[in-house]
């Protein structure tokens, strides 16, 4: 019985691993294309690609980092903040993501600075 359970578990894991790898591979293609179009200034297309990448693989921090940058460029600071938070949550030690987020916060702080009436 135990052996059978072990075999079933291993079979399930073996089936799931390529699926996860496929998801990352598909997401990576979207990320790569997004980078290409962003470099040509086509930010809306880049947003679409990186949103797709984040949908395909929600654990892909690079996709969320890039998406945050694109939202920043489009002026959607709230969406950028959420994407940066997800990216830093997934990879808290990634220095590039941290640096991007710090630079974003400097700008975001300016716009949310409380006023006096």
Partner 1 sequence: MTVRHAQLLSSLAAVFVTVACSSYYEIPIETPIRPKLDVSAFQRVLVAGFVSGGTEDVDGNLETTRLLRSQLRTKSDLRVIDTDVLPLMDVASQSRGAGATPAATAGTPAAIREVKDLEPYEQVFANVEYWKRIGEEYQNPLIVTGTVMFTPLSRSGIVQREQEVFDSVGRRSVVPIRTYMERKGFTLQPRFVFIDGRTGTTLYSENFREEILYNANQTTPALSSYFELMDRLLPNFLSTLSSQKIKGTRVLLQ
Which of 26, 37, 90, 94 is in the footprint of partner 1 by CB under 8 A?
Answer: 94
> How many Å apart are CA 92 and CA 8, to the nearest integer?
35
Nearest distance from C-beta of residue 82 to partner 1, angstroms: 16
- Using the rule CB under 8 A, is 53 a contact of partner 1? no
**Residue 5 or residue 39: which is nearer to partner 1 going by CB?**
39
Cβ neighbours of residue 26 under 8 Å, at least 6 residues apart?
56, 57
Exposure of 100 by Cβ count < 10 A (0-12 exposed, 13-18 middle, 19+ buried)? buried
What is the rounded distance in angstroms from the CA atom of residue 78 to the CA atom of residue 7?
47
Interaction residues for partner 1, span 22-51 (CB under 8 A): 28, 31-32, 35, 38-39
Asked if 62 interacts with partner 1 (CB under 8 A), we say yes
Which chain residues interact with partner 1 by CB under 8 A? Answer: 28, 31-32, 35, 38-39, 61-62, 65-66, 69, 72-75, 77, 94-100, 102-103, 106-107, 110-111, 113, 115-117
């Amino acid at each position: 019985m135990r052996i059978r359970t072990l075999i079933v578990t291993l079979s399930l894991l073996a089936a799931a691993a390529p699926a996860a790898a496929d998801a990352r591979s598909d997401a990576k293609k979207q990320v790569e294309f997004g980078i290409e179009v962003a470099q040509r200034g086509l930010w809306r297309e880049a947003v679409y690609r990186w949103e797709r990448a984040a949908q395909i693989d929600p654990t892909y921090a690079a996709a969320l980092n890039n998406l945050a940058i694109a939202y920043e460029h489009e002026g959607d600071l709230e969406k950028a903040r959420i994407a940066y938070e997800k990216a830093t949550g997934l990879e808290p030690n990634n220095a590039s993501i941290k640096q991007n987020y710090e630079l974003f916060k400097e700008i975001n702080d300016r716009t949310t600075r409380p006023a006096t009436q």
